[in-house]
Amino acid sequence: MFSIVRVSPLGGAIGWFAGEEPFVVGTTLLAGNLAGNEGDAVWIRPGYSNLEVSDVIVCGSGATPFAGEYTASGSLLISEVCVDCDDNGEVDPWELLLGTAADADGDGVIDVCACQADLDGNGVVNGADLGILLLAWGFSGAADLDGNGIVNGGDLGLALLAWGDCDG
């Protein structure tokens, strides 16, 4: 298991210049990587496709996370934001992949965060909560569901994922 965070001219986290044998990147979090030129998370040398990714999460890594050809086996999750709804310092999809957080209903939201979007406390995430979130747009506060310091699209996405009755 690896977590890679860095900035590089080619391939913010990984620059693969290719060798004879296939290279496998497995059970890895690539978070917050940026490249000066191409492949904010991963750059693969043009003409080579012997990079395989398996059980990899790429988040917060710029507009073009991959540059070049690669093969994905297992799970590959690419997200513009790295959500840590329980504010424990671990990106939520990473916790789910490793099995260190529960998601009993399989909705992709950590169970302890499932009703965090119930902003009015009535036991359901619905239009009233959406209204509260939209009123807080651009500010910090309880509607900042992803904990990034500002209410924005990431929080809206979490509210929509949690939409419905909090009891499941």
pLDDT in tens, 71-89: 888 888 888 778 888 888 8
Angle between helices 153-161 and 127-135 (to 10 degrees): 170
Supply the pLDDT for residue 19. Answer: 67
pTM above 0.75, yes or no: no
Q: Is residue 32 within 8 Å of residue 22, measured between CB atoms? A: no
Residue 104 within a domain: no
Range of the domain at 4: 1-80
Overall size of the chain counted in residues:
168
- Count how many domains the chain has: 1
**Does residue 120 sit within a domain?**
no
Distance between CA 36 and CA 111 in Å, rounded? 37
pLDDT tens column, 51-78: 888 999 888 888 888 888 888 888 888 8
* Residue 168: pLDDT band with limits 50, 70, 90: low
Do 62 and 40 touch, CB atoms closer than 8 A? yes
